[in-house]
Amino acid sequence: MEIGDIKNIAVVGAGNMGHQITLLCALQGYNAACTDISEEMLQKARDFAGTYIAGRVQKGKLTDDEARAVKGRIRFAHSMKDAVADADYVIEAAVESLALKRQIFKDLDAFTPGHAILATNSSRIVSSRIADATRRPEKVINLHFFNPALVMKLVEVVNGPHCSEETAQISFQLCGRLGKTPVMLKKEVDGFLLNRMLGAILKEAMWLHEMGIATFEDIDKACVYGAGHPMGPFRLMDLTGIDLEYHIRMESFRNSGDRADFPVPGVVERFMRGDYGEKTGRGWYDYSDKK
């Protein structure tokens, strides 16, 4: 298969990452199907797509005809089997659970055409831990977009030991056609590139906060006004989701058994309350007055 053979892209998961990746694909000319087990999530994805496309028209970024064409290329389906039946490329964007991802990839292997490449948008779980759930491990790869996927330019392409060179190169080229800037990892590593570096900062920031050395607000200010970061680690956690941080840390703890990998009390407390960040109106910061 060559990059020009990819016409239909399916996204599994209609959450914040999944519905934005779906819309991104449609905006760049691909037929894009999005599927989720939650009808509520699918409806939110439909609403977001309609609002976003209308906004692009109002700003003069899309003509009315172009907007209609983009809408015509998007399809939302409750049935995964229907959504991926004609897919040339699939991007899984489900919650960070290895067991769940392995089941999804097992189903994708059964439901998709034999030539389809199966990618995971996981921010930490390497695809070699998923690939053997399929009969096409050479076509399984990490394709990690960053949040928000419609805005952030970086995509990490991780070439695992099971992955064919063809799959890696097509995935790399696809990122370019989606208007992104891809980087290729020659080997698998936990956390990939950027999250390994950000993780080191976050770990230190959490320690400083938990030890009572500084407030999370002041730690964020230090990163913004001292290091020149666009936002601090706690504000970034609110943006990406405290629930995501919780699940990532829990998955690491399950794998290692090391309590050092367990999520810190501040994260656990907010997760248990359902305060996930911007999407729930409260996380480390209060967003209740934000539209």
**pLDDT for position 57:** 97
Q: How much helix, strand and coil, in percent to the nearest 5, is found in the chain?
A: 50, 15, 35
Q: Look up residue 62 and give its DSSP letter.
A: S
Domain boundaries, the chain: 3-185, 194-280
Average pLDDT (47-76) is 96
Q: How far is CA 135 from CA 92, 95, 130, 132, 259, in A?
A: 17, 23, 11, 7, 35
Provide the percentage of residues in the chain whose pLDDT is more than 70.
Answer: 100
Is pLDDT above 90 for 255?
no
Which whole number is the average pLDDT over 192-212? 92
pLDDT of residue 201: 94
Separation in Å, CA 71 to CA 2, 27, 53, 284? 26, 9, 8, 36
Mean pLDDT across the stretch 31-44? 96
Average pLDDT rounded to a whole number, residues 37-55:
96
pLDDT at 121 (0 to 100): 97
pTM: 0.82
Pick from 20-24, 49-53, 257-261: least confident: 257-261
How far apart are the C-alpha atoms of 177 and 186, rounded to whole Å?
21
User: What CATH code is assigned to 3-185?
Assistant: 3.40.50.720
Confidence bin at 216 (pLDDT 50/70/90): very high
Q: Please provide the CATH number assigned to the domain covering 194-280.
A: 1.10.1040.10
- Annotated catalytic, 156? yes
Catalytic entry in 31, 123, 142, 159: 123
pLDDT of residue 265: 94
Q: Is the pLDDT of residue 73 over 70?
A: yes
Vertex 237: Cα angle to 218 and 257 (nearest 5): 110
Task: Let me know if 144 is a catalytic residue.
Answer: yes
- pLDDT at residue 147, as a whole number: 87
Q: Each residue of 96-147: pLDDT tens digit?
A: 889 999 999 999 999 999 999 999 999 889 999 999 999 999 999 999 999 8
Strand 154-158 vs strand 140-145: parallel, antiparallel, or unpaired? antiparallel
The more confidently predicted of residues 259 and 172 is: 172
Q: Which of 19, 144, 162, 209 is catalytic?
A: 144
pLDDT of the residue at 291: 54
Q: Identify the active-site residue in 92, 156, 245, 251.
A: 156
Residue 96: predicted pLDDT:
86
Active site residue 147: no
Least confident of 139-148, 200-209, 248-257: 248-257
The residues facing 286 across adjacent strands are 282
User: Residues of the chain with pLDDT > 90: what percent?
Assistant: 87
Residue 87 DSSP one-character state: -
H-state helical runs in 126-261: 165-177, 194-210, 216-225, 233-240, 242-256
Q: Is 96 known to be catalytic? A: no
Mean pLDDT of the chain: 95
